[in-house]
Amino acid sequence: LLSMSQSCRVAILGATGAVGTELLSLLEERNFPLSYLTLLASERSAGKHVTFKGESLPITAVSAEAFEGVDIVLASAGGSTSKAWATAIVEAGAVMIDNSSAFRMDPQVPLVIPEINPEAARHHQGIIANPNCSTILMNMAVWPLHQVSPVQRIVVSTYQSASGAGARAMAELEQQSRDVLEGKPARPEILPYPLAFNLFPHNSALNAEGYCEEEVKMVKETQKIFGAPDIRITATCVRVPVLRAHSEAVNIEFGQPFPVDQARSLIQGAPGVTLVEDWQKNYFPMPLEASGQDNVLVGRIRQDISNPNALDLWLSGDQIRKGAALNAVQIAELLLA
């Protein structure tokens, strides 16, 4: 572990993507103790410049030499890139905080949400995995309740924004929306189907049981993070025409009844979440209001009328921030603590 008294040498791998851009903003916003920052991307982005704390910083093509002398690599360039450079990063003596799915289920790699299992970060062997965005957002709401009464089963449906597919998918949704409103066809290029004024099951690969990769991630990652392999979880993930911030409808079953008022109080006091409920106005979390927010917005907590041992809740959270970049920066802060 590094000492917080030291300044840290950081590299961002995938600096030009949606998450990479957000990582840069968060390092500045949170006044992360930097002594050195290098921005890495593919050859096609090399030579571009971005602004950080009023300075123009160049984008450099990734190479093994680029990791020499670096303490922490914030990686958000996709699983294949993370796998390609992991050995070079670790051999250079850096810790890779990886935002891809490449190492999440590796038993030697900690899978960390700082508000839930910060101690796991201390057992890294050079790589720490950042969980899937939908997993992070759900777990932020479920964990405070799980600590009081262990969760038996979770049924979750997600409403996932274009931002989950990256900056180009966000731009595609904007262009499709303009085209449809002008009477033109919506032409999908990044996503498999038109997203403007439409929705469809998550576009990740399906397994033999009919579950897509995103749904399987939510199941297996939650079990690993909670240290509870016996929690029964089923998920249905859906891509919706929202630019940024995912939402989720979550049904949580316990071994006994869980008072709604107690659940509401626990979530209201939990770190990283904000209770948003106005029952008179039918006002609850919305992705529009969650966008740009660090906290996950949670509300509409209610008794499941079909099961005395279950509660329902609704949440919205910024997929790029807490669902990705913020969680990674918080892990880096853990290493410095």
Which residues are identified as catalytic?
A: 133, 246
**C-beta neighbour count of 36 within 10 angstroms:** 12
Q: Are strands 310-317 and 246-254 parallel, antiparallel or unpaired?
A: antiparallel
How would you list the strands of the sheet with 232-239, edge to edge?
200-201, 232-239, 151-160, 246-254, 310-317, 296-303, 273-275
Per the document, the length of the chain is: 337
Encoded tokens for 218: 């939510």
- CA dist 103 and 125 (Å) reads 12
DSSP for 43-78, written as a single string = GGGTT-EEEETTEEEEEEE--GGGGTT-SEEEE-S-
- CA dist 38 and 11 (Å) reads 5
The C-alpha angle with vertex 321 and arms to 320 and 326, in degrees rounded to 5, equals 130
